[in-house]
């Protein structure tokens, strides 16, 4: 659909996307105006509207790219080191690796800077992956399947945000380990100090 070929158009779109990222990191999505974007990207006003209907459209468009990249990374990881592929929540490692490579982009999305739109889109993309990873999960009466999906996505975002904002020194593997521990076993072990397991 709508194959873009002309170099000029590609140049413009890349400039707009990267301008938006810079501005989100600098002053947040909500506070960023289209005027800011076209100034930062050095692009004419009418040119912007020739490509996108507004800043929300521009942002959403970026997520299509992210989704593609993440899917590819997923596939690569799956075919690469086989063995760890059918672990529960085995998809997360590739995501943390990807986030390490594009830390600035993820940082722009996460933690409020990207506004409701960014978090919403990110949740949507991650939910797809999580659902794919929990195909046969039984819906035990206690906790519904969809709640489990939301819980896992929420935990993923919590660890991701905490990692990028407060412990950027950790390796993707370390962040992933914390995510798996919390998502699979909860925080009980870190909370119950005096009471026993039973």
Answer whether 97's CB lies under 8 Å from 155's CB: no
The CA distance from 182 to 176, in Å, is 10
61: left (phi over 0), alpha (psi -120 to 50) or beta: alpha
Per CB under 8 A, the list member of 4, 10, 147, 173 interacting with a copy of itself is 147
Per CB under 8 A, the list member of 30, 69, 97, 128 interacting with a copy of itself is 30
Token pair belonging to 124: 């949507």
Which residues, 6+ apart, have CB-to-CB distance to 16 below 8 Å? 37, 38, 41, 43, 48, 51, 52, 58
Which residues, 6+ apart, have CB-to-CB distance to 91 below 8 Å? 74, 129, 130, 132, 133
Cβ-based nearer residue to DNA, 60 or 78: 60
Q: How far is the CB of 49 from DNA (least distance, A)?
A: 4
Per CB under 8 A, the list member of 138, 169, 196, 198 interacting with a copy of itself is 138
Q: Does 189 bind a copy of itself (CB under 8 A)?
A: yes
68 contacts which partner out of a copy of itself, DNA, none, CB within 5 to 8 A by kind?
A: none
12 contacts which partner out of DNA, a copy of itself, none, CB within 5 to 8 A by kind?
A: DNA
Answer whether 118's CB lies under 8 Å from 23's CB: no
Which positions lie near DNA, rule CB under 7 A?
5-9, 11-12, 33-35, 42-47, 49-51, 53-55
Per CB under 8 A, the list member of 51, 67, 78, 181 interacting with a copy of itself is 181
Q: How far is the CB of 112 from a copy of itself (least distance, A)?
A: 4
Cβ-based nearer residue to DNA, 3 or 86: 3
The CA distance from 93 to 6, in Å, is 36
């Amino acid at each position: 659909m709508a194959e873009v070929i002309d170099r000029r158009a590609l140049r413009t779109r890349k400039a707009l996307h990267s301008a938006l990222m810079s501005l989100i990191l600098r002053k947040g999505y909500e506070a960023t105006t289209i005027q800011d974007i076209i100034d930062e990207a050095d692009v004419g006003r009418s040119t912007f509207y020739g490509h996108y209907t507004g800043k929300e459209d521009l942002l959403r468009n970026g997520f299509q790219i992210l989704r593609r990249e993440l899917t590819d990374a997923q596939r690569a990881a799956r075919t690469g080191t086989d063995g760890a592929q059918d672990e529960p929540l085995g998809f997360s490692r590739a995501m943390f690796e990807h986030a390490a490579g594009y830390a600035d982009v993820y940082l722009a999305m996460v933690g409020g800077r990207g506004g409701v739109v960014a978090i919403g889109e990110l949740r949507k993309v991650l939910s797809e992956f999580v659902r794919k990873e929990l195909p046969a999960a039984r819906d035990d009466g206690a906790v519904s399947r969809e709640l489990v999906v939301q819980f896992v996505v929420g935990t993923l975002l919590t660890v991701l945000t905490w990692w990028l904002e407060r412990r950027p020194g950790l390796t993707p593997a370390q962040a992933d380990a914390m995510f798996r521990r919390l998502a699979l076993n909860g925080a009980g072990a870190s909370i119950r100090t005096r009471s026993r397991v039973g």
